[in-house]
Structure 1
Amino acid sequence: MAGRVFGLGTILGLALLAFGLPVQAQTPFYSADAAAIAGGAPGSLIQNVRHDVPAFGASKYIVLYRSVGLKGEPIAVSGMVFVPPGQMPAGGWPIVAWAHPTSGVVSKCAPSLAYFGNEQVQGLEDLLRQGYVVTATDYPGLGTPGPHPFLVGDSEGRAVLDSIRAARELIGGRSPNATLWGHSQGGQAVLYAADLAPSYAPDIKLLGVAAAAPATDLAKLMNDDYPTAGGRNLLAMALYAWNQVFDAPMDEVVTAEAIGTVDALAEVCLESLEDLLPRLFDGHDLMKSFLSVDDLTSLPPWKALLTENTIGALPTATPVLLVQGSADQTVVPDVTAEYMSGLCQAGSHVTMQVLLGGTHYEAAREGYPYFIAWLNHLQNGQPVTDNCP
């Protein structure tokens, strides 16, 4: 996510230091013609390629699979699938679908193109060692031709669910169940996937959904984060993306002086050290001049778009794990607590894991052991903690 919805800025330097190198060049693999895209059901594979270097003793595949666009049209989505070593059990391997935090808003910013894309999947090594297949969607418009529907819940959610179908096909069509796991923007993605699953993907037996510092109440998060350079930096990415995807009139809410900065920021990924300096300088420029309106969240079409992409209640049969750092200044604890309260009131069973002193960046990096423990309890038919009153 772009933290405090749009402000991943407080952890930007740490994220860039973690990944270190720029993205790799795109190849024709990420493009498919209209006939190929329309030639199968959502989640079916268009093509895949196995990487020569195994990840943690597993097999890594870059995949291109079919999904559904914002207007119901067939689209292609790219991503990664990691398969454990050894013989597959008779009933198949269970699947964990990972959804990544914000990596950018243009095609070159796909995690599958990053040199250290494996390391971005939190808990990957432990999950593979315990016999889980792991999927990692890029989301529509990242890797594949854009635009990327940034923070658009239905788009992300379908891509996550279809990555499970693609992985299932890749391993021979057998898998007993799937679990969703995401961070920040990816937290929003998996929550939407859980909401969509009964109607969009009834063929998937969903075990549960886990979200670390998820983007929930978009308008509140945006307003909270707007005073910071990091927040403005990534709000610019959101405005650019929604202008591209929904034709929302960005020039009516952004000053003339800031338009060029917004366009420039859209071309910079959050993948490498070389991205850090332009984001720092452009964030500083946006502190001088950015929005030309007092309250973007009250104006059409932005108000409606924020509301439409704010997740609500989930199917109550789906267990929920929320992981939240107590020192998170990007997605503040009160916002996640409020979302949990709404889930509890709607009848969901929610486990809340608070990481004392944990930051936004650490929510998934330090929180994944709690996710795996929760997941294994569900996998073994054991009860999990319900923190709802």
Structure 2
Amino acid sequence: MMPYMMTFKLDKLFFGAGFSLAVVSSLVFGGDEKTLRASALGDSYLGEFYRVDELSSTSPGVLIRHETLDEHQSLNRAADNIRLLYTSTEGLFAEDIVAVSGALFIPRGTPPEGGWPLLGWAHGTVGIADICSPSYNGRQQRDETYLNHWLANGYAVVASDYQGLGTQGTHPYLATRPAAYSNLDIIRAVQSAAFPVSNTIVMIGQSQGAAAAIATVGHAPEYAPELDIQGLVATGAPYFSAEGIAAIQETRPKDAVDPRLGYNFLALSMLGLIDPEFVLEDYVSADVLPVAMAVTDTCYVDMKKLVKRELVTYNKAFKKSPEKVLTEAFRRMEYPTLKLSAPAFFGIGGKDINTPPRMQQALVTSACVAGSRVRAHFYPSATHGSIVNGSTEESSQFIASVFAGEEIIGNCNELPF
């Protein structure tokens, strides 16, 4: 296990990070309280690149080091595949500077004057374990196809792993401010280094990453006002309003095996970071507790398989409903504002069962009411996964128009649902 970063608040980020002392120490950290104090849920040693014993800068957005990605971590349409380590502001409590990892992909050819137009990619759910970080573990085929599409069309792509994924400390899953700070600071890092990228940025994101991208645009005016974020593309975006949560609950049977329970276990890990009174076994049954604790070293794709193999249902998983205690976690998943400073493209899949259409439609409607310029597109046959590449024809036109400086006309008065 890696030592826990001393810049974090040990009392907040530790005794809250792992559910109960007894469960974490026995299942994760070997039952030793000293080890518990020195380690974080999901941490593992990925190599010296990801390790920082002492930060050389106390400012966010500073490049610490970079190196070439391995082949399985690279994109085949990129001329340069670069792993990055940089400084960022810890986003849950916003008091400390931490190291965050990520990647930069440079297209082939000669960059235009001003550098390759820069896209900030915010990835979807991969898990909370360091081994799941995309710069280390690589990317699923869907995302490789998507990012290669942008590279082939002359865009550079910068992609944060997010706080705590790959680097020390527990990843605060779905908390929007930590992800936003990670995104904003990786943009700062690459733009202040010698990489041939533009000053103008468009954020793109899917699922957890769609929320991160929206929050990035929302936090930018206050946290990073020097950055020129001109647009946003979000597909499969969650919205943890009362209506959004109700939409999810309607699609989640409590008496059937549901692989999406992996989301629940990941969300509970984030709750532990912010509520030192939270004890996992108060809610999760003894039979399912090992499955819930598997988030510490199991990526989401394998969490789904584990839930199916162990025949886990909601009723089997929870001896007491966690819905009430999750309220505080949902607050950390909210957006800082829905009056966005840049035009936003939303792609909604009609067959999305992870972030149901009703949830996404409520988000779009709220953004419209708040005064954002929204281009919403509804794809009746698209799923949570297929919406990513299934929306590129329209999102490509949107992004090209943004970088060309063309006026983006919203369709809030004629929403397609």
87, 96, 106: which one pairs with 1:66? 87
Aligned match of 2:338: 314
Aligned match of 2:175: 152
Cα separation, 1, equivalents of 2:273 and 2:387 = 30
Q: Which runs of 5+ in 2 are unaligned?
A: 1-43
Q: Is the 8 A contact 1:258 1:286 kept in 2?
A: no
Cα separation, 1, equivalents of 2:54 and 2:179 = 21
Q: Is the 8 A contact 1:194 1:315 kept in 2?
A: no
1:87: Cα distance to partner?
Answer: 3.2
Cα separation, 2, equivalents of 1:118 and 1:334 = 27
Aligned match of 2:364: 340
Q: Please give the secondary structure, in 2, of the residue aligned with 1:34.
A: coil
Task: Give me the TM-score of the superposition, normalised by structure 2.
Answer: 0.79
Deviations 1:150-181 (A, max 9, x none): 01110011111112112223444862300110
Aligned match of 2:17: none
Aligned match of 2:291: 261
Cα separation, 1, equivalents of 2:165 and 2:192 = 22
Aligned match of 2:317: 290
Counting only pairs closer than 5 Å after superposition, residues 234-383 of structure 1 correspond to structure 2 as 234-244=263-273, 246-247=275-276, 248-270=278-300, 277-282=305-310, 284-287=311-314, 289-294=316-321, 296-297=322-323, 299-300=324-325, 302-311=326-335, 313-383=337-407
Counting only pairs closer than 5 Å after superposition, residues 116-195 of structure 1 correspond to structure 2 as 116=139, 120-121=143-144, 123-172=146-195, 175-195=198-218
1:202: Cα distance to partner?
Answer: 0.8
Q: Is the 8 A contact 1:106 1:146 kept in 2?
A: no
Q: Is the 8 A contact 1:237 1:266 kept in 2?
A: no
Cα separation, 2, equivalents of 1:59 and 1:153 = 29
1:275: Cα distance to partner?
Answer: 6.1
Cα separation, 1, equivalents of 2:409 and 2:144 = 25
Deviations 1:176-212 (A, max 9, x none): 3001100001011111111100011111101111110
Q: Please give the secondary structure, in 2, of the residue aligned with 1:261.
A: helix
Q: Please give the secondary structure, in 2, of the residue aligned with 1:215.
A: coil
1:360: Cα distance to partner?
Answer: 0.6
1:136: Cα distance to partner?
Answer: 1.3
Bigger relative contact order, structure 1 or 2, given CA contacts below 8 A and separation 6+? 1
The amino acid of 1:250's aligned partner reads L
Q: Please give the secondary structure, in 2, of the residue aligned with 1:123.
A: helix
| Change over 3 Å in CA distance of 1:246–1:109 after alignment to 2 | farther
Cα separation, 1, equivalents of 2:50 and 2:78 = 26
Q: Is the 8 A contact 2:118 2:158 kept in 1?
A: yes
Q: Is the 8 A contact 1:122 1:364 kept in 2?
A: no
The amino acid of 1:180's aligned partner reads M
Q: Please give the secondary structure, in 1, of the residue aligned with 2:412.
A: coil
| Change over 3 Å in CA distance of 1:40–1:130 after alignment to 2 | farther
Structure showing greater radius of gyration is 2
Cα separation, 1, equivalents of 2:109 and 2:141 = 20
Cα separation, 1, equivalents of 2:131 and 2:364 = 35
1:103 maps to 2:126 = yes
Aligned residues: 358
Cα separation, 2, equivalents of 1:312 and 1:42 = 20
1:246: Cα distance to partner?
Answer: 4.2
Aligned match of 1:56: 77
1:113 maps to 2:140 = no
Aligned match of 1:29: 49
| Change over 3 Å in CA distance of 1:330–1:198 after alignment to 2 | same
211, 216, 221: which one pairs with 2:234? 211
Aligned match of 2:34: none
Q: Is the 8 A contact 1:378 1:384 kept in 2?
A: yes
The amino acid of 1:188's aligned partner reads A
Q: Please give the secondary structure, in 2, of the residue aligned with 1:175.
A: strand
| Change over 3 Å in CA distance of 1:115–1:172 after alignment to 2 | closer
1:385: Cα distance to partner?
Answer: 4.1
Percent of paired sites with the same residue: 25
Cα separation, 1, equivalents of 2:357 and 2:289 = 32
Cα separation, 1, equivalents of 2:45 and 2:388 = 28
Q: Is the 8 A contact 2:349 2:378 kept in 1?
A: yes
49, 54, 63: which one pairs with 1:45? 63
Cα separation, 2, equivalents of 1:119 and 1:61 = 20
**Cα RMSD for the two superposed structures:** 2.5
Q: Is the 8 A contact 2:55 2:99 kept in 1?
A: no
1:115: Cα distance to partner?
Answer: 4.1
